[in-house]
Amino acid sequence: MTQRHITRNAPKAQAFIPTPEDQRVSEAIAKAEATTSGEIVAVVASESDSYLYAPFLCAALASLVAAWPLIYFTWLSVQWIYVIQLLLFATLSAVLALRPLRYRLVPRSVLVERAHARAVEQFLAQNLHTTIGRTGVLIFVSVAERYAEILADAGIHQKVPEGTWQVIVDEMTAEIGEGRTTDGFVKAVEQVGQHLALHFPPGSVPAHTLANHLIVLN
């Protein structure tokens, strides 16, 4: 089961959580897991898709549209119009391919869909679905899409009140939006750990050790 939220002012991917700071997240995960038999995995992805098709598509459409006024309102030859179209396509493709502009070309619904799909992919890739007792929880952020989500397996999700994960995500993204990225992540880990400890204290199910460090996907 999932909850999701779009962050409003996410930092650039390269500086989302600086290397010295990621140790705080790892320590928070280890501390939280010491109080529960559940599993917490934190993943930060620079982007969930390259969206490279977007600038080429927009540049192609603009080049096609630009031909019509040149045909009807100028005396340019077909050859020159074709050259202008090629130059326009090349220029727009290069400009729109820049990261900040590229993501703005993609509808928000597509960004959310791709980021959610990446979160599900990571839930499976990190083997959270294999935890005994179905106690795995993924805290996922995709920076380019300004997207955060908590994925909780059935064992823990069915035990917490509805909306619990959304509250945690909202608080985390609020911290991120104010520039306290690491604090937001640590707080989210602590809150998830508290719910896991309440319903799955140490020894309640066999231990299944997964990565305790912050996983960064470039």
Pairing of strands 136-142, 147-152: antiparallel
CATH code (residue 135): 3.10.310.50
Task: pLDDT band for 210, please (50, 70, 90 cuts).
Answer: confident
Residues 80 and 120 reside in one and the same domain: no
Identify the band that residue 13 occupies on the pLDDT scale cut at 50, 70 and 90: very low
Is residue 122 scored above 60 in pLDDT? Answer: yes
Domain count of the fold of the chain: 2
| One domain, residues 45 and 131 | yes
Distances (CA, A) of 166 to 1, 42, 115, 143, 203: 11, 16, 16, 18, 28
Domain co-membership, 161 together with 210:
yes
Of 66, 84, 104, which one is at a domain's C-terminal end? Answer: 104
Give pLDDT, residue 8.
46
124/89 same-domain check? no
How many C-beta atoms surround the C-beta of residue 213 within 10 A?
14
Nearest CA-CA partner of 180 in 17, 3, 5: 17
Looking at the structure, do residues 176 and 199 belong to the same domain, yes or no? Answer: yes
> What global pTM score does this model have?
0.86
Both tokens of 119, joined, read 């979160």
> Same domain for 111 and 175?
yes
96 and 179 fall within a common domain: no
pLDDT at position 186, please?
Answer: 95
117 and 181 belong to one structural domain: yes
Q: Are residues 127 and 211 in the same domain?
A: yes
At residue 7 the predicted structure's pLDDT band, cuts being 50, 70 and 90, is: low
Among 22-36, 145-159, 193-207, the least confident range:
193-207
Query: By C-alpha distance, which of 173, 180, 133 is closest to 37?
Result: 133
Report whether pLDDT(70) > 50: yes
Whether 34 and 65 map to the same domain: the answer is: no
59 and 43 inside one domain: no
Q: 68 is in which domain, residue-wise?
A: 53-104
pLDDT tens, 123-169?
999 989 888 888 999 999 999 999 999 999 999 999 999 899 999 99
Tell me, yes or no, whether 15 and 120 share the same domain. yes
